[in-house]
Structure 1
Amino acid sequence: MENSEVEKSKFFIIVEIIEYVPNSVVIKTIIKKTTGNVSVVSFDSGEVLSEKTSPFDTFIQVIDGQAEIVINDESTILEIGQAIIIPAHARNSIKANVRFKMISTIIKSGYEDMSLNTF
């Protein structure tokens, strides 16, 4: 499946730019830069993104359905419109008890400034 960015300067309805595919997790890139990326993701019911960690904070917002986000073994259910930040280096997984769509935003810049503030 094509994973190109959406066309710039053209409006779109975020929940409509990605479809559900049976037994799948589908990712559509909205914008991708070296400093971070924004993607919309659809999960069919029963799908799971296995536990992982990321060196960056990840912002997740549910735009359709309901998601289960597990961060360091603590589960949170998110409904449409709700969001959560998965902290950098935290163990996390994403589960679709029912099908859902989400926006995932990762910002990779700015972390280097944080090390300057530690003494």
Structure 2
Amino acid sequence: MTTEPVKLEDTAFHLANFIDYSDDSVVSKTLLKKTTGNLTLFAFDAGQGLSEHTAPFDAVVYILDGQARITIGGQPLSVGEGEMLIMPANISHALHAEKRFKMLLVMIKGE
């Protein structure tokens, strides 16, 4: 469940501590929502995921904690803490928590 963006202006915080895991769930927290893009934190419990889908915009995934299997265009990638990848617009992708993981999703809208 995504919440309304939180007020973070002029506030320093540690991303991984800003969202908590929930048993058998995927938790999301919107940090910033603009016409040019969004910043959203996610926490996936082990075994949880997002099924294959496409998005009309490029997105950057940065893994804050844990381990994820991210499949882009049919190609599975194992991505761990401190690693990031780019999910290109209009290419199918899916996410699965091999272990529980937290990530920052940066959605970039426009050219």
Superposition TM-score tier, normalisation by shorter sequence: over 0.9
Mapped to 2, the partners of 1:109 and 1:89 lie a distance apart of 13
TM-score by length of structure 1 reads: 0.88
Q: Find the residue that maps to 1:15 and give its secondary structure.
A: helix
Q: Any unmatched runs of 5+ in structure 2? A: none
Q: 1:102 to 1:2 in 2, by over 3 A?
A: closer
1:56 is aligned to: 57
Report the counterpart of residue 114 of structure 1 in structure 2. none
Tell me: CA distance 1:2–1:85, structure 2 relative to 1, closer, same or farther (3 Å).
closer
Question: Which stretch of structure 1 is more off in the superposition, 1-10 or 98-107?
Answer: 1-10
Structure 1 regions of 5+ residues with no counterpart? 111-119
Counterpart in the other structure of 1:117: none
Which structure is higher in helix share? 1
- Runs (4+) of structure 1 moved beyond 4 Å? none
Task: Give the 5 Å matches for 1:19-38.
Answer: 19-38=20-39
**2:2·2:27 contact (CA, 8 Å) conserved in 1?**
no
What number of residue pairs does the alignment pair up? 110
The Cα RMSD (Å) is 1.2
The structure where strand makes up a greater share of residues is: 2
Whether the 8 Å contact between 2:2 and 2:30 is mirrored in structure 1 is no
Q: TM-score, normalised by structure 2?
A: 0.94
SS in 2 for 1:102: strand
In the TM superposition, what whole-angstrom CA distance separates every residue of 1:18-54 from its partner, at most 9, and x where no partner exists? 0000011011011001111001100000001010001
> What is the distance in 1 between the residues matched to 2:40 and 2:2?
13
Q: Percent same amino acid at aligned positions?
A: 39
